[in-house]
Structure 1
């Protein structure tokens, strides 16, 4: 398989994953377009159907994992699907305990692409927050671009990412989209 074919496959997988995530978010948030999900009696010139969260003001601060925070053994992919959509300029807050003598520390990495995300390959990843930055108020990361973001814990040689569920992806939506 050539590099062009691998690149095309990665691009197709990324597009498919984004479409699936958006479909999952819309299903979980009642954005359905099937029979009975849209009130056609209100469809006229000038009427705009909006997602209920699309009119929220300003960026939201979102605690990654909710009350669970950032820890081993929690499925952050499921969490992100159930709590999305996330919007451009929203701020993700990663809270985790600082390392102790008998604990396993956590960190936050941004992986460069879907392939690295799927395999938990940190060779080209960028550390966003060290093992000590998640304490107190946590580490904050703003979703500044309309792009896929692949987050993962890079500790224990990828075990936290691979086996511990400490990875998720976000594609921020634009606030105020009209449907």
Structure 2
């Protein structure tokens, strides 16, 4: 099993898609990349902690290649926009990838190079060493599955799920 820690805007969005991805055994929403030793949702949203909203995606490479997990990441958010995804603005929404090993760092850099051709503007995704992952509050875990009728889910997450179904249907559970 391998785990990637990825930030692509609000963690609810990536969580919703990776929860439906074959070979993914766990998706945990959380925070990392900052300096506050006790982050919570409200302090992270304040922008004072330095942390990003991220998901820790654990998957089986015998079922889904790491490259597919990463290519999905780049398809599901705009990696060319600094500190913003749609209406979500702030450093906590930055495009980011956090590695634990040199192998992961290389995979992340290769994914950026591979996906740059899909974007007119330069990819600004931050690639940083993972220092510590803080699990987000239970309310944020698997948010879409618990609240599919919520406005944010309808307007923001549903189009991302539709895009994932269009381009990655072979990798999604029914």
Q: TM-score w.r.t. structure 2 length?
A: 0.22
Tell which structure's C-alpha radius of gyration is larger. Answer: 1
Q: Which has the higher contact order (CA 8 A, sep 6+)?
A: 2
More strand by share: 2
More helix by share: 2
Q: TM-score w.r.t. structure 1 length?
A: 0.21
